[in-house]
Amino acid sequence: MAEITLRQQPYIPGFTVGEYLDLVDQHFPETGARLWFGRKGSHTELARLAGLSNEFETDHHSGRGDSYRQAQRNPTIRMRGIRTLFTLASGCADVRRIPAGWRVLDLLGGDGLLDRVFSCLAPQARGAVITSDMAGHMVAEALRAGHAAVRQEARYLFMHDESVDAALLAYGTHHIAPGDRLAVCREAARVLRPGGRLVLHDFEADSPGSMWFSGVVHRYSKAGHPYRHFTAAEMTRLLKLGGLSSITLHRIYDPLVTRGESLEAAGAEMADHLYDMYGLTELAQPHAARADIRQMIWKLAENYFLHRESDAPDDAGSEWQREPVIYQDGPEWVALVPRVALVAVGEKR
Ligand SMILES: C[S@@+](CC[C@H](N)C(=O)[O-])C[C@H]1O[C@@H](n2cnc3c(N)ncnc32)[C@H](O)[C@@H]1O
């Protein structure tokens, strides 16, 4: 049988590499110019990628991809933390000052949530985010929604050297196997232009944020959550060994925030968000009442996202709360689950 060419290789659901490249050339030419499918080893990596699957593809078997995407329809829930990540990645204290033409590669980009949030926060630089993810269904969904997106594993990028101004590893960095973490940082550093920044974000090992994953997500999602979270020392070491300099560490406020017309509506939206985002399907008996499930989730959030005064993030403002709360804000009610994320930033010389 004739060997299939690179363009004929299956790539994302419904697209071969060739069909994908044609689509990118037509709709996202600036991203197309950064792609490098002719890179040595691409053929092997594409074949490997086609055989890979993780829990973020769909909800079939032990997955939570469909429900995860459902939870991302509201771009405001994680807006505060995401804004801070863009300020750290760009070096601009105000995201509205990020210049048009700046490009950031969102390496664990899912279905493009960070791009959606960025477009709301910094419309002057719209188009800055290139969404990148190993899950085919995530990338297919991102493209369908109009985001420039690439399917690639973070440890091997189909992208040219020095082709972006910043790279983000956020909201799921613990999913990268410990043995791959240095290779991922080196690969991100390769695609950064000199002076570009790599931002590494996670919920620190043994913090309320990571204990939520081990105590709740591991226990009540079908896939479980057997991943090792990062420490500050590991982040610093990885960025140094990855060849980055001027390394800084930050503990940022990264809450989940929902709004509603009543206390009940804001609380219900938060509970449903947590249920979908983390795929907490094993929490209750199959026919349990929705109100009871919401109550269970809120109780778990209260038990886990309980911070000490000394846990206050570096950027704690008037919004900082040590524990989950629902309060009235003008005509609206706000449900807030506080989280503090650990972030390391390094610069390419
Ligand atoms: C928790 S989701 C975050 C998605 C999006 N950034 C968000 O905040 O909604 C983590 C994503 O990382 C992707 N992922 C995990 N490990 C990866 C790897 N080694 N390379 C590329 N993507 C990876 C998963 O497929 C998943 O879509």
Ligand 1 pocket member 172 (CB < 6 A)? yes
- The predicted-structure confidence for 198-252, as pLDDT tens digits, reads as follows 999 999 999 999 999 999 999 999 989 999 999 999 999 999 999 999 999 999 9
Interval between CA 16 and ligand 1 midpoint (Å): 22
Pocket probe for ligand 1: among 56, 114, 173, the residue whose CB has the most ligand atoms within 8 Å is 56
Pocket probe for ligand 1: among 58, 108, 201, the residue whose CB has the most ligand atoms within 8 Å is 108
Considering only CA atoms, which residue is closest to atom 4 of ligand 1?
110
Q: What pLDDT, on a 0 to 100 scale, did the predictor assign at position 54?
A: 87
Whole-number Å distance between alpha carbons of 78 and 341: 12
Atom of ligand 1 nearest to the CA of 135: 25
- Specify the amino acid at residue 127: G
**Quick one: tokens of 206?**
């043994």
Atom of ligand 1 nearest to the CA of 108: 12
Interval between CA 245 and ligand 1 midpoint (Å): 25
Which residues have CB under 8 Å from 4's CB, separation 6+?
A: none
Whole-number Å distance between alpha carbons of 179 and 184: 10
Give the domains, in start order, of the chain with CATH numbers: 9-254+343-348 (3.40.50.150), 256-340 (no CATH)
Which residues have CB under 8 Å from 342's CB, separation 6+?
A: 201, 202, 203, 204, 207, 230, 232, 235, 249, 250, 251
For the beta carbon of residue 91, count every other beta carbon within 10 angstroms: 16
DSSP string of 146-213? T--EEE-BTTB-SB-TT-EEEEEE-SSGGGS-GGGHHHHHHHHHHHEEEEEEEEEEEPPTTSHHHHHI
Residue 273 phi, psi dihedral angles, 5° rounding:
-60, -45
Angle between helices 290-304 and 263-278 (to 10 degrees): 80
Can you tell me which residue has the tokens 């055989």? 51
Ligand 1 pocket member 256 (CB < 6 A)? no
- Which helix (H) or strand (E) covers residue 89, if one does? helix 79-90
* Contacts of 34-41 spanning 24+ positions with Cβ under 8 A: 34/103, 34/130, 34/159, 34/160, 34/163, 34/164, 35/150, 35/158, 35/159, 35/160, 36/158, 36/159, 36/160, 37/6, 37/158, 38/6, 39/158, 41/156
Pocket probe for ligand 1: among 134, 138, 181, 213, the residue whose CB has the most ligand atoms within 8 Å is 134
Whole-number Å distance between alpha carbons of 176 and 169: 10
Q: Is 250 exposed, middle or buried (0-12, 13-18, 19+ CB in 10 A)?
A: middle
Q: Is 208 exposed, middle or buried (0-12, 13-18, 19+ CB in 10 A)?
A: buried
Interval between CA 93 and ligand 1 midpoint (Å): 26
Cβ pair 220, 282 in contact under 8 A: yes
Can you tell me which residue has the tokens 């690179």? 6
Atom of ligand 1 nearest to the CA of 78: 8
Cβ pair 204, 150 in contact under 8 A: no
Interval between CA 328 and ligand 1 midpoint (Å): 34
- For the chain, the residue count is 349
Ligand 1 pocket member 53 (CB < 6 A)? no
Interval between CA 138 and ligand 1 midpoint (Å): 9
- The predicted-structure confidence for 102-132, as pLDDT tens digits, reads as follows 999 999 999 999 999 999 999 999 999 999 9
Q: Which residues of the chain have pLDDT under 70?
A: 1-2
Can you tell me which residue has the tokens 């060739």? 18
Cβ pair 296, 283 in contact under 8 A: yes
